[in-house]
Amino acid sequence: MSEERTLTQAEDLSTPARSPVAQIAHWPRDAFIDGRFVDAVSGARFECVSPVSGEILCHVAECGAEDVDRAVRAARRAFEGGAWRNAEPQGRKTILFALAELIEADVDVLGTLITMDMGKPITDAREEVLDAAGTLRYYAEAIDKVYGEVGPTGPSALTLMTREPLGVVGIVVPWNYPLDVPMWKLAPALATGNSVVVKPAEQSPLCILRLAELALQVELPQGVLNVVPGFGEVAGKALGLHMEVDKIAFTGSTEVGKLFLTYAGASNMKGVQLECGGKSPSVILSDVPDLELAVEETATGIFVNAGQMCNASSRLLVHESIRDQVLERLAQQAEQWQPGDPLHPDTRLGAMVDERQMERVLDYIRLGSREGAELYNGGHRAREETGGFYVEPTVFTGVDAGMRIAREEIFGPVLAVQSFSSEEEALRAANDTAYGLSAAVWTSDVNKAHRFARGLSSGTVYVNCYDYGDLSLPFGGYKQSGGGRDLSVHALENYTQVKMTYIRLLD
Ligand code: NAD
């Protein structure tokens, strides 16, 4: 564990002179393996740079294959030992509830870590922390409400279908929701008795390491939770190829999701659950019930989290008869989403996660103009004087379905607007993508709404809203957005397997 951990959280945060960067020096940055914070075997560390200001926050342990192996073996030992998987469901529930309490009480620290590490506005970061605590509670609460089944076999047998944990689950996650997305997987995996090894994104490892530190304060048995910060091509790959990992729960790009399928094939046929990218359309039909609301929610859907959202409404399809009204309001909306200081509570649009991502987004903006789309709003780097990585909310009009800005996931605050003249054309355009994560339709006609919802090749459909959901509802994609589903009680099935037991009843 880092030696600086002598300060308590209260002391640290009550010192007004201490800048957020200085505060971060006190939180863990080592790997968490077998219940202890440790260096990588190689001693290597990588820079953790804040996108808020471009400053180096700290140097984090850079795990390699050997560290991943140590973590997986610790997780396997913990699983085989049975202290967690064989614990009474009520016992697991009590411990996970206690952890959820600690997460909630730690909202100042975790929120600041998220903002400083990946650039999201502090208000959103704090909400993410509270959401993560809520997710953990949801699955803790569900533990003792999942029943097995008795088979409908004849009188000479009693047949049972019981759900058992998988064993060691590897969790590989992106940086855009660095606490929430891992929690969507961690919570059901732990609730069902598995041991886990989390590989956070190299851009945002700090909040999960802090979570591990909180886990030390509850009675989670040693080795049940492990965290291996490091690079995807090394630590992520080692986890994907490890023979003792029973399942990989992955969220990230489609490209890397495909790699995990090959890792599974090249190793032990481990299960792979994929939640990948998107290019989600928001379709505004001519009979939109509230045009103002449709534009506002579509704008929020692409500008929130600086567009670094898998289900961002990155394509706006609008009926040609209302196009001009929509564009006018879109410009007003963009005005309200100007980038600001992520640590200020009123800021809505923060930083891109790092310089590379900012440059990638700016490259796409330049490409859009070269492809012949019209840059209607924004399009530039912002707040350069801060040293941080910010991009203006950007809107392209006159976008053609064949353009790369209409087809590829940009993962930034960039909206591509296309218009259509008929419902059929709109549906065709909405589905004209390799992805299928989310889609929205705005209409006053209940028949059209149902027709559209049925026709959309998308794991999530919003009608007259955008980006709504609930812990009780599944989230995931069709097509190359990956076939997995997070959330809802169904996610418990992701981390269990069914055992059939046939008991012959002897005379
Ligand atoms: P990414 O695919 O580059 O990285 C995701 C994780 O995979 C990281 O931990 C990374 O270190 C690891 N990784 C990278 N290369 C690897 C390799 N060769 N082998 C093994 N592991 C590797 O994604 P990102 O840039 O961090 O995140 C953005 C992507 O995540 C977007 O495509 C976004 O749509 C997607 N996403 C999807 C959802 C969803 O629920 N569907 C949610 C959030 C983000």
The Å distance, Cα 311 to ligand 1 centre, comes to 14
pLDDT of residue 10: 36
From 120, 171, 183, 251, mutation site for ligand 1 pocket: most ligand atoms within 8 A of C-beta: 251
Q: How many angstroms separate the alpha carbon of residue 252 from the centre of ligand 1?
A: 2
Phi, psi of 83 (to 5 degrees): -60, -30
Strands (DSSP E) contained in 71-122 are none
What residue spans in the chain does CATH classification 3.40.605.10 cover? 8-276+485-496
pLDDT of residue 25: 74
Find all residues with CB under 8 Å of 34, minimum gap 6, and list them: 70, 71, 74, 77, 222, 223, 226
Is the CB–ligand 1 distance for residue 248 below 6 Å? no
* Residue 242 Cβ < 6 Å to ligand 1: no
pLDDT tens digits, one per residue of 281-309: 999 999 999 999 999 999 999 999 999 99
Is the domain spanning 8-276+485-496 CATH 1.10.3720.10? The answer is no
What confidence score (pLDDT) does residue 18 get? 56
Q: Residues 354-398: pLDDT tens digits?
A: 999 999 999 999 999 999 999 999 999 999 999 999 999 999 999
Q: How many CA atoms lie within 13 A of 127 on its CB side?
A: 10
Residues of the chain with CATH 3.40.309.10: 281-470
* pLDDT value of position 376: 97
Asked if residue 70 has pLDDT above 50, the reply is yes
How much is the pLDDT for 96? Answer: 98
How many angstroms separate the alpha carbon of residue 251 from the centre of ligand 1?
6
Per residue in 178-231, pLDDT (tens digit) is 999 999 999 999 999 999 999 999 999 999 999 999 999 999 999 999 999 999
Residue 272 pLDDT > 90: yes
CA of 172 relative to ligand 1 center, distance in Å = 8
pLDDT of residue 4: 36
Whether ligand 1 lies within 6 angstroms of the CB of 236 is answered as yes
Tell how far the Cα of 256 is from the centroid of ligand 1, in angstroms: 6
pTM of the entire predicted model: 0.95
- Using 50, 70 and 90 to split pLDDT, how confident is the model at 15? very low
Round to whole Å and give the CA distance between 279 and 405.
10
pLDDT of 61 > 90? The answer is: yes
Q: CATH classification of 281-470 is 3.40.309.10, yes or no?
A: yes
pLDDT value of residue 146: 85
Give the confidence band of 16 by pLDDT, cuts at 50, 70, 90: very low
State pLDDT tens for residues 117-158.
999 999 999 999 999 999 999 999 999 998 999 999 999 999
Nearest one of 355, 361, 359 to 308, comparing CA atoms = 361
pLDDT of the residue at 35? 98
Encoded tokens for 139: 């699955």
The candidate with the shortest Cα–Cα distance to 453, out of 478, 434, 420, is 478
Q: Is the CB of 176 under 6 A from ligand 1?
A: yes
pLDDT of residue 23: 74
Tell me if residue 58 is catalytic: no
CA-nearest residue, atom 38 of ligand 1? 310
Tell me, what's the pLDDT at 24?
A: 76
End-to-end CA distance of the chain: 61
**Digit-coded pLDDT (tens) for 306-332:** 999 999 999 999 999 999 999 999 999
SS3 of 203, please? coil
Residue range 235-260, pLDDT digits in tens: 999 999 999 999 999 999 999 999 99
pLDDT in tens, 72-116: 999 999 999 999 999 999 999 999 999 999 999 999 999 999 999
**Ligand 1 center–CA 352 separation, angstroms:** 15
Say yes or no: CB of residue 229 within 6 Å of ligand 1. Answer: no
Per annotation, catalytic residue among 275, 297, 392, 423:
275
Per-residue pLDDT tens for 470-501?
A: 999 999 999 999 989 999 999 999 999 999 99
**Ligand 1 proximity of 485 Cβ (cutoff 6 Å):** no
Assess whether 310 carries a catalytic annotation.
yes
pLDDT confidence of residue 13: 41
Cβ(411) – ligand 1 distance below 6 Å: yes
Tens-digit pLDDT profile for residues 403-460: 999 999 999 999 999 999 999 999 999 999 999 999 999 999 999 999 999 999 999 9
Query: Three-state SS string across 370-414, please?
Result: HHCCEEEECCCEECHHHCCCEECCEEEECCCCCCHHHHCCCCCCE
